[in-house]
Chains A and B, each alone.
Chain A
Amino acid sequence: MYNYRYLILVLVLAMSGCSIDRDPLDQLSAGQFWKNQDDFDNAMTAIYGKLQTPMFSSGTPDWDLVTDNAYGQHNSGNSRDINAGEIAPSLGGFISDVYSNAYSGIARVNIFLHQMANYSGDFLSQETLNAYEGQAKFMRAYYYFLLYACYGDVPLVREPLDLNNFVQPKVDAAEILDFVYEDLDRAIELLKPVVYADGGGRVVKSSAQALKLRVLMYTGYDENGAADIAALTQARDLAAEIMDAGYSLSPRFENIFRDAQQEGNPEIIFSVKFLAPNNYSSMDQWYGDWVGVSPLPSFVALFENGDLRKDLSVFQNIVDFGTGKTHQPSNNMPTGYGMKKFLTPENMPYDYSTRSAQDWVMLRYAEVLLNYAEAENEISGPVTAVHDAINAIRDRADLGLLSSSLSQVQMRDAIRKERRIELAFEGIRYFDLKRWRIAGEVLNAVTDGITNYHFEDKFYHWPIPQSQIDISEGVLIQNDDY
């Protein structure tokens, strides 16, 4: 009949005009990437960007919540459970987040290194390739060291994984440690021998050295807390090398942590950078207004009279830099104190609108000096070099010189106390308690911690997160004691 022709016409039009091929509008397909140096540079930028994960930068002070330094009213990282001795495979918080965040950072490096290995173009110079490799391996070593220090035995992943091989068994902690050194040594070999301030904001040779020094110090004591002189000797020598690299203490303690004074600061060996308003953290709000870290009264009492760092590290009831502006935190102050060290006076009042741009200082010269002093004191006793290193730090805090008659043990105590104060809230204390093997002794003695503390030796190594055990079908074995 006559009207069929319309039907045919419409059907033909409909069938021919309609394709269902669609692609994403705001993502790149892998086939289009890794085609020029910009792509590699962008991928390297993402490797640095990973460090802006709060756990690796602005949230690092939360690590002090699981020590005798501070209480966390918001239970960040499940700190209250960890302190109470509830560390268990399914706890979550730090127990699961360190694992997932570290491997996430490692994956980014592995993918980059994998693409570098497969690179066959002519747009990257050998110098560029070396710089890429050095930076990437520094990052990977940083993540593996964290895994090593928290869990001990973990899987060792060197290459990108996919759906066919994503279950991996764990390897011995010693193998992880070797791998950390392997990456760091390669990074030290490849990276530029300039101070960080001259390194264009990137990892330099001394950054890798300072990280290696931290690792060596971590391995410098045995299971009973006795010094391992071989390791400490290696540490001392490396520290000495860094001390010749051109760094010095920042004349003013606070300048290390204030955005305006960080660029070119002679003390900073590596930092995670932020640039407001578009690339920022919430440090001022989190610590200055929400009081995420509440220093314990017993910690505040440690400061000697006249220690400049007391008022620069801790506030009582109200944040006051003496600039005429103050900030009254909107959250509770369960201990009466708040952490002031990383707050920016200019950003007051602290609230949701505050865009914090202070860089997170991951490695700094004071730690190198303290490491040097600690190692040398264990090796040689309280020799002059030990006094010099620690007195440099005390001097900046406007404190007097240590008595020259200190015994080795007294010096050890002095260094440890100095270290606890100088590096407070920098995420160092928890690992110091572990490497010195004094966590049980110290933590079980805390009496002003709001919640009860309970530490057992098995907590020196955390359990591997239960979810990871559950999905590995027997390949990944839980750590002993859990």
Chain B
Amino acid sequence: MTTKQITKNYKLIMLKHKRWVLPMGRKMLFCGGTICMLGAIHIQPGHAASTTMNDERNERTFRFSDLTNLQRTINGKVVNQEGIPLQGVSITVLGTASTGTISDRDGSFSLTVPAGATLVFKYVGYQEKQVSQFGQETITVSMQLETESLEEVVVVGFGTQRKANLTGAVSSVKGEDMTRRPVTNAAAMLQGQVSGLSVVQGSGEPGSEGVSIRLRGQGTFSGAGNNPLMLIDGVEGNLNDLNPNDIDNVSVLKDAASAAIYGSRAANGVILVTTKNGKAGQTMVDYSTNLAIHTPTRLFDLITNSADYMELFNEAKVNSGMNDPSGLYPQTTIDQYRNATDRQQYPNTDWLDIFFNPAFVQQHNLGVSGGSDKTQYNLSLGYVNQPGVFKAFEYERFNVRLNLASQVNDWLRIGTNIHAQQGNTQRPRNGAEDSFVSAMSQAPTYAPQLPDGRYVHKAYDFERNNKNMLAIIDNESFFKNRDYVLNFQGYFDAQLAPGLSWYTKGAVVVDLNNESDWRPNVPLYNFISGDFATNLDVGTTGLSKKRTENRYINVYSYLKYDKSLHDAHNFSAQVGYSYEDNQYQFLGGYRQHYFSNQLHELNAGGAAVQTNEGSGNEWALQSIFGRLTYNFKSKYLFEGNFRYDGSSRFNPDLRWSVFPSFSAAWRVSEESFIRDNDSFRWLNDLKIRGSYGILGNQNVNLNNKPYNYQDLYDFTGDYSFDNQELSTGVAQGTLPNRNITWEETAMYDFGVDMRLFNGLELTFDWYQKDTRDILRNIQLTNLVGLNAPLVNLGEVRNTGVELALTYRNQIASGYFEGLNYSIGGNIDRFKNTVTKFGAREIGGWTIKQDGQPWDSFYLLEVDGIFQTAEQIAAAPKQYNDNTLPGDLIYKDQNGDGIINDNDRVLMDGVFPAFQYAVNGSVSWKNFDLSILFQGVEGRKLYLNNWGIVPFVQGAAPTTEWLGRWTEDNPSTTMPRIYWGWDSPQKFSRASSYFLRDASYLRLKNLTIGYSVNPQQLAKIGIHKLRLFASGDNLLTWTNYPGLDPERGGSGTFITYPQNRIYSFGLNVQF
């Protein structure tokens, strides 16, 4: 370190006891005793060239010059909180590259440093600690386990708060805890991290994981949606549009009190993501990489033996009444396949095996961060290349982020967060589910290609199948999207007066998509004859291109004032304004006839059939918000929030609404009868808190038509009277509802936070959340003949409990001396009840009805399988069915002796009974290990079509159908086999046969790391080197059949698989 010249004038304000602070500065200049400290730099008042006093204003101006730093040797000892020496602690001088040492066996160290230096202590599993010397030559540094300290600062809406002072239910997650998992999607990384936060990854499709995030149940059933508001550095964004490595921390605002400051968009909770900023000091270069092999977690077994397939095919068809021999495999053909030796001519094609293969996925991140006292920066580059486990699925992502902050002068700090992401997505054009469906909807009797490379339709005309996926993939019939997300933020933070600050941020977020959908003309041939059969079904042939642009602007500004009286009464007040404006536009074009399959641009297509499309919409939101907090000695805490929101989506008379919230907390452990009582020494902290607030939701029919309150006419399509020209049709499409307004969610929350025995932390919350005025399409009679408008009508209640526990400790002696470990877990459950819906609505397999969970299962109950004709004769008549032995027995629920739709009953499982996660971590010497289990209990899914119904589109049945009911094999679990969609109603009715238990517990992640000894690394100029291996979705315990139980909702059984990941990586810091 060289001598630093500081020659600027600093105007100081005197606090009591002669402590002096800079009026504007964020880097305080504290003067105590004989030393002043400006940021990291120590200044002895003796170096002040001049000082002037202004007693009237309690101000004193120092002029500093020529600070010569003395070199001095510091001797010290590093211990943990129990006083045990820590060996191997890295000790460096803040802002220097070369000076540093490591503590020895006794925790002792000795280091010669410039006077005024700040020492940085780092040790795995412990909080980084910075120590400034105040004259002592020998210091003892006590390091704290990396526990969620009460002094920890938590990000809340428009600011931060000490965790101890929180009155609402807020959970926070560190970025590093998320990025342990080797997945590429930041949202998926939140899984199992926060109680009450349900994260369901829909599938493992690269770049399109379909992660659903629900906080505290399902509040609304309207199109306004249940997605929590997600803010990235204070501006609405999408967790998917982020490099996970850029995340510093995530705060989840769970109750109304903490979310109400976001008012109209916070009804589903708020997730605040803060990205990493640079820290003053030495420039750090950080590179990490992660190389992974992805395989499907589970895939079912299909019958791949052609002869078995053909026999079952015939049996199913005959059972379904299609016994025309021309639609069945002749026995001679079956025998040919059974006995063949030429498997090219008589194949047993395993179609899934062709398309599912391990995928090699890589991630790289390079970061440079650091800065001076005045300016700090964090620059990061990220790259992900993720092919899918299914052929032709690919995702690639580039991220660049620059977070820059600068202390311009003693009162003004400015900064910018700039992020650009570019993603490339490729998938077969019909999407993931259809690709899987098509791949399996084939008979094993033929191969995808003829020996000469031509693509096959099928072997026999009566076979039923879906698209030849290999033809789709080889001919690049892909949907491709090149998307850009650009997020520019600039802000300033001005210290206007002691305690009074002014923060303003402006942001522009641009989301551009450049989509292309190519459907070539590909002839398919008969496998046996080689004759032309049909053209590949890719939908309408041709090329569609679409560009979309979404531009979102957000400006917000707030004043915050903090005041403390007599060290006991602490007030803060905050008031702000926010404006949001969103514009969306798209433009698309299409041409049908292409002469070459090589050229994929519109102009390369024929002009005969070409269409274009384009439209747009916009909305705006304007808000005033504020917060008042008061606490008495951090013992009794009160907070009130309000937001006053106006939305363009409502009629001007009903546009504005107020969303208030109140919360209070009592830190019982601060009371003298606890704090001063030795029998309560085990109780480190106890806080009881409660809150109530109202939140809103304004996402009225967000999709394309945000103006439901207006009486509107649509372009309904054209008609030609003369068969030559088209005339335009215009008609009213939707009945207007001028009175449409906000959905409101009122929530009570009571919580307890405890810390016991210096290591056990516990947080418990109970909540009740009532969503009312739910925007739903009114149950309009068909007589009106128009689409139903949204009205504020429905009500839903969610009641739930959440518990989170963490225990951390360190082994003080013995062989495992120095071993740190922690174990934690969280569990939550909620009950969802529709309290007001209107007339019940029965769907395919669900019912929407007052007093029941939303969209509860409503099914016939299957009560076994008929074994004999006598049994059938004695049983209630099953509809008008021709019931036979081997068919499902439907239970006569109302006892009227006949089975019909009135025997459908409610069945549970649409929402899980509870979900839970357990995590643990251990670090010892150079090793670290972490483990995460995650589970969902009591969730059921109604499954249909491929994979559960045999022979849908000719799809090979799963091998369990080999055990189907036959006269020779009177199964009690597998019914008689029927043929796909031609199965008679007696099999295909919505019944509990198709309702499957999707509960699971899985080893979500296991990570083992090894950090190379810093002493050895120091010699080669490396700060840190960690190697790790991480596995994801390694083990699963479930009763779910065949595929992965972790998926979106009910419906088609087929979903793109989840990934089991084995990865290896390293992290190196220079």
Q: Is A324 an interface residue (CB 8 A)?
A: no
User: How far is A6 from B504 in the complex, measured between Cα atoms in Å?
Assistant: 11
Q: Is the CB of A278 within 8 A of B901?
A: no
Stretch at the interface among B2-10, B220-228, B716-724, B795-803: B716-724
Note all chain A residues with C-beta closer than 8 A to B732: 30, 111
A330 to B536, CA, bound (A): 10
A353 to B712: give the CA distance in the assembly, Å: 33
- Most A CB contacts (10 A, CB to CB) among B462, B615, B718 go to B718
**Nearest chain B CB to A203 CB, angstrom units:** 11
Chain A, 148-162, contact with B by CB distance < 8 Å: what is the 0/1 string? Answer: 000000010100011
Shortest C-beta distance, B1020 to chain A (Å), equals 49
Q: Most chain-A CB neighbours within 10 Å: which of B608, B648, B737?
A: B648
Of residues 731 through 760 on chain B, the ones whose CB sits less than 8 Å from some CB of chain A are 731-732, 735-737
Those of A41-78 within 8 Å (CB) of chain B: 41-43, 45-50, 52, 73-75
B412 (CB) vs chain A CBs: closest residue = A3
A-B contacts, 12 of them at CB < 8 A, read A20-B648, A22-B620, A43-B729, A84-B985, A86-B879, A104-B785, A104-B786, A111-B732, A163-B780, A279-B718, A328-B534, A351-B541
Query: Does any Cβ of B come within 8 Å of A105's Cβ?
Result: yes
Chain B residues close to A by CB (< 8 Å)? 321-322, 324, 326-327, 411-412, 457, 461-462, 464, 494, 496-497, 502, 504, 519, 533-535, 537-542, 555, 557, 559, 577, 579, 581, 592, 608-609, 611, 615-622, 646-648, 652, 655, 705-707, 710-732, 735-737, 778-786, 789, 791, 838-842, 879-880, 882, 900-901, 981-982, 984-985
Question: What 0/1 pattern do residues 299 to 338 of A give for CB contact below 8 A with B?
Answer: 0000000000000000001000000000010111010100
- Complex-state Cα separation, A5 to B703, whole angstroms: 42
Known: A90-B901, A334-B982, A359-B723. 8 other contacts (CB 8 A): A7-B502, A11-B577, A20-B646, A48-B719, A49-B716, A161-B785, A163-B778, A332-B462
**Beta-carbon contact of A353 and B716 below 8 Å:** no
Closest to A476 in B: B781
Task: With both chains docked as a complex, state the minimum distance between the C-beta of B170 and any C-beta of chain A, in angstroms.
Answer: 29
B995, chain A: closest CB distance, angstroms: 19
CB distance from A161 to the nearest CB of B (A): 5
Beta-carbon nearest neighbor of B502 in chain A = A7
Contact A278 B411 (CB under 8 A): no
Inter-chain CA distance A122–B982, complex, in Å, is: 60
Nearest 8 Cβ contacts at the A-B interface = A107-B785, A201-B721, A46-B729, A275-B720, A30-B711, A470-B839, A46-B731, A22-B648
Given contact pairs A352-B540, A353-B542, A470-B840, A274 touches B785 in the complex (Cβ within 8 A) = no
Question: Is the Cβ of A28 less than 8 Å from the Cβ of B838?
Answer: no
Contacts of A467 in B (CB 8 A): 779, 839, 841
* B411, B706, B723 — most chain A CB neighbours (10 Å): B723
Q: Give the Cβ gap from A1 to chain B, nearest Cβ, in Å.
A: 6
Residues of chain B within 8 A (CB-CB) of A48 are 719, 721, 729
The verdict on A106 contacting chain B, using a C-beta distance below 8 Å, is yes
**Contact, CB under 8 Å: B901 / A450:** no
A residues in contact with B620, CB < 8 Å:
18-22
Q: Mark A80-113, 1 if CB is under 8 A from B, else 0.
A: 1100111010100000000110011111101100
With A24-B705, A27-B705 in contact, do A352 and B537 touch (Cβ < 8 Å)?
Answer: yes
**How far does the alpha carbon of A179 sit from the alpha carbon of B28 in the complex, in Å?**
87
- Contact in complex: B537, A330 (CB < 8 Å): yes
A28 and B730 form a contact (CB under 8 A): yes
A74 to B725, CA, bound (A): 34
Of the residues B707, B725, B737, contact of A27 by C-beta under 8 Å: B707
Note all chain A residues with C-beta closer than 8 A to B533: 328
Q: Does A454 contact B (CB under 8 A)?
A: yes
Minimum CB–CB distance for A331 against chain B, Å: 8
Of B646, B712, B728, B981, the residue contacting A24 (CB under 8 A) is B712
CB distance from B719 to the nearest CB of A (A): 4
Chain A residues within 8 Å of B, Cβ to Cβ: 1, 3-4, 6-7, 10-11, 14-15, 18-31, 33, 39, 41-43, 45-50, 52, 73-75, 80-81, 84-86, 88, 90, 99-100, 103-108, 110-111, 155, 157, 161-163, 166-168, 200-202, 262-263, 273-275, 277-279, 317, 328, 330-332, 334, 336, 349, 351-353, 355, 359, 450-452, 454, 465-468, 470-473, 476
Q: Would you call B534 and A28 a contact (CB within 8 A)?
A: no
Contacts of A111 on B, CB cut-off 8 Å? 731-732
Whole-angstrom CA separation of A476 from B504 in the bound complex: 59
The answer to whether A18 and B985 touch (CB under 8 A), given A10-B504, A86-B879, A336-B324, is: no
Q: Which residues of A contact B985 (CB under 8 A)?
A: 80-81, 84, 86
Bound Cα distance A468, B785 (Å): 13
Task: Enumerate chain A residues within 8 angstroms of B791, measured Cβ to Cβ.
Answer: 163
A452, B880: Cβ atoms closer than 8 Å: yes
Nearest CB of chain B from residue A8's CB, rounded to whole Å: 11
When the two chains form their complex, are residues A471 and B712 in contact, meaning their CB atoms are under 8 A apart?
no
A50 cross-chain contacts in B, Cβ below 8 A: 716
Q: Is the CB of B730 within 8 A of A166?
A: no
